[in-house]
């Protein structure tokens, strides 16, 4: 089958010819939701791939973004999937995948921070990484510094929102000297970087760092460190799912309120209905609702 078509178009491609360039872990609940959505309403956005020829000379593809959608199609037993074809190098495909993951999250999980380190290992400067990912140069530089120092515990705290990045950098800069760490903590408090709950969390993190070390896993076991990172990612994804559910509920409640307000406004413009309310001694309504039915005080 000849598939030589111009890149930049959307077409169906065989799923078994797609290679995942930058695989990521996903929580089972998040993945199950992707599968349910696709099964119910179909694929809203095609995946993105770049063409490659495999060892046998067949047309193959590298996945740029859309791993969750691709795996969902596999789960549903599909053999083909709609894909946007782009013609980029393997390195550019990796960068596009990383940038797409970063753009989709307000807080970047540890695996994406490791992706920033991978870009540096590929020879990219801090400025180049910043330009390609959309992150500020100072953020990238700080993250790379914490990664180089092996400060997994501080990075996890930053990504969890427990402490700000600049506070983590200050603590890491103090090294393993407890007095220097406490001095850095005091400085962060005095300049307003750490206050209230964040100060309490910082003290707890420093205590754990002093007792168990910089790494999240106490032992040198690589597998245990991976499990900890995956656990952090699952926690993050569950929180995102919970927040999304709250947003959906709020939007639904707002739509219901708008319908009620519109219905009341129409009814109150009917003189016969208003007279009926007065006859039943129902001529008033809650102030909250009245202000929305008649915003100008009518």
Indicate the average pLDDT of the chain: 77
Reported as a pLDDT band with limits 50, 70 and 90, residue 296 is low
Fold of 1-104: 3.90.1530
Of 151 and 232, more confident: 151
Q: What is the pLDDT of residue 190?
A: 73
Domains of the chain: which residue ranges? 1-104, 230-293
Token pair for 121: 């290992």
Share of the chain above pLDDT 70, in %: 81
What pTM value is reported for the model?
A: 0.46
Question: pLDDT at position 2, please?
Answer: 46
SS3 for the chain is CCCCCCCCCEEEEEHHHEEECCCCCCCHHHHHHHHHHHHHHCCCCCEEEEEEECCCCCEEEEEEECHHHHHHHHHCCCCEEEEEECCCCHHHHHHHHHHHHHHHCCCCCHHHHHHHHHHHHCCCCHHHHHHHHCCCHHHHHHHHHHHHCCCHHHHHHHHCCCCCHHHHHHHHHCCCCHHHHHHHHHHHHHCCCCCHHHHHHHHHHHHHHHHHCCCCCCCCCHHHHHHHHHHHHHHHHHHHHHHHHHHHHHHHHHHHHHHHHHHHHHHHCCHHHHHHHHHCCCCCCCHHHHHHHCCCCC
Q: pLDDT at residue 290 above 60? A: yes
């Amino acid at each position: 089958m000849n598939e030589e078509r111009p890149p930049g178009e959307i077409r169906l491609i065989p799923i078994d010819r797609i290679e995942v360039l930058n695989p990521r872990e996903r929580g089972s609940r998040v993945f199950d939701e992707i599968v349910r959505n696709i099964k119910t309403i179909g694929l809203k956005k095609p995946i993105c791939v770049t063409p490659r020829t495999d060892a046998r000379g067949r047309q193959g593809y590298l996945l740029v973004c859309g791993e969750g959608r691709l795996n969902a199609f596999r789960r549903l037993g599909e053999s083909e999937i709609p894909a946007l074809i782009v013609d980029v190098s393997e390195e550019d495909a990796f960068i596009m995948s990383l940038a797409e993951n970063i753009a989709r999250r307000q807080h970047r999980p540890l695996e994406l921070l490791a992706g920033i380190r991978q870009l540096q290992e590929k020879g990219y400067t801090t400025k180049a990484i910043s330009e390609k990912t959309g992150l500020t140069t100072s953020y990238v530089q700080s993250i790379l510094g914490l990664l180089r120092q092996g400060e997994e515990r501080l990075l996890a705290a930053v990504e969890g929102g427990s402490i700000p990045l600049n506070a983590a950098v200050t603590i890491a800069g103090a090294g393993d000297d407890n007095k220097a760490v406490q001095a850095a903590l005091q400085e962060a408090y005095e300049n307003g970087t750490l206050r209230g709950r964040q100060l309490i969390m910082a003290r707890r993190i420093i205590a754990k760092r002093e007792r168990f070390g910089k790494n999240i896993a106490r032992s040198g076991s690589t597998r245990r460190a991976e499990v900890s990172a995956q656990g952090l990612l699952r926690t993050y994804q569950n929180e995102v799912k919970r927040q999304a559910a709250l947003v959906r509920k709020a939007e639904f409640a707002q739509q219901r309120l708008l319908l009620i307000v519109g219905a009341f406004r129409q009814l109150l413009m009917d003189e016969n209905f208003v007279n009926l309310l007065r006859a039943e001694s129902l001529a008033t309504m809650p102030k909250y609702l009245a202000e929305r039915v008649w915003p100008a005080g009518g």
